[in-house]
């Protein structure tokens, strides 16, 4: 069955209409923890506390298959620096509250901790990394 987006694919997987899928822990950790799904490998350098019985990609025989899901909050170019600083301060405070930390942990995720120039450097490295994958694979826009 062809992939139809994260929502329907997850529903189809749980219902047994598809045999497997690649997914982020934010949408699959609960189903793996509850036994509805069997995690085959985690594309990460170490096992995840939310699903400790799922092996890493290295343990599953795929040592170079590592990636992560990341989230960002963006502001329009030209947003005043004082506004960005206030947003960053409030976001950092919110991310440290027990309810937010617990929600991220239950879904197998670390609380985001990159901001500003460090995050910009990370995004640039991701664009370069995945651009190389697209080029090597010969992917073309149709």
- Residue 142 CA to residue 126 CA, distance in Å, equals 23
Q: What is the mean pLDDT of the segment spanning 109-129?
A: 90
Determine the pLDDT at residue 53.
Answer: 92
Question: pLDDT per residue over 45-99, tens digit each?
Answer: 889 888 899 999 999 999 888 888 888 889 999 999 999 999 999 999 999 999 9
Whole-model pTM?
A: 0.69
- Residue 127 pLDDT > 80: yes
Query: What percent of the chain stands above pLDDT 70?
Result: 94
Gap between the Cα atoms of 10 and 23, Å rounded: 8
- The CATH number fitting domain 1-68, selected from 3.30.420.40, 3.40.640.10, 3.90.1150.10, 3.40.190.10: 3.40.190.10
**How many other CB atoms sit within 10 Å of the CB of residue 120?**
11
Q: For residue 54, count CB atoms less than 10 angstroms from its CB and return exposed for 0-12, middle for 13-18, buried for 19 or more.
A: buried
What does the domain layout of the chain look like in residue ranges? 1-68, 81-137
């Amino acid at each position: 069955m062809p992939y139809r987006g994260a929502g329907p694919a997850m529903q189809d997987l749980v219902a047994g209409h598809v045999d497997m899928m690649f997914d982020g822990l934010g949408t699959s950790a609960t189903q793996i923890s509850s036994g509805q799904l069997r995690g085959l490998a985690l594309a990460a350098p170490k096992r995840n506390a939310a699903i400790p019985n799922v092996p890493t990609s290295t343990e599953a025989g795929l040592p170079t298959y590592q990636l992560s899901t990341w989230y960002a909050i963006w502001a329009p170019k030209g947003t005043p620096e004082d506004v960005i600083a206030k947003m960053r301060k409030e976001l950092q405070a919110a991310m440290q509250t027990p309810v937010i930390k617990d929600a991220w942990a239950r879904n197998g995720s670390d609380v985001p901790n990159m901001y500003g120039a460090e995050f910009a450097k990370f995004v640039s490295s991701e664009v370069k990394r995945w651009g190389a994958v697209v080029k090597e694979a010969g992917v073309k826009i149709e």
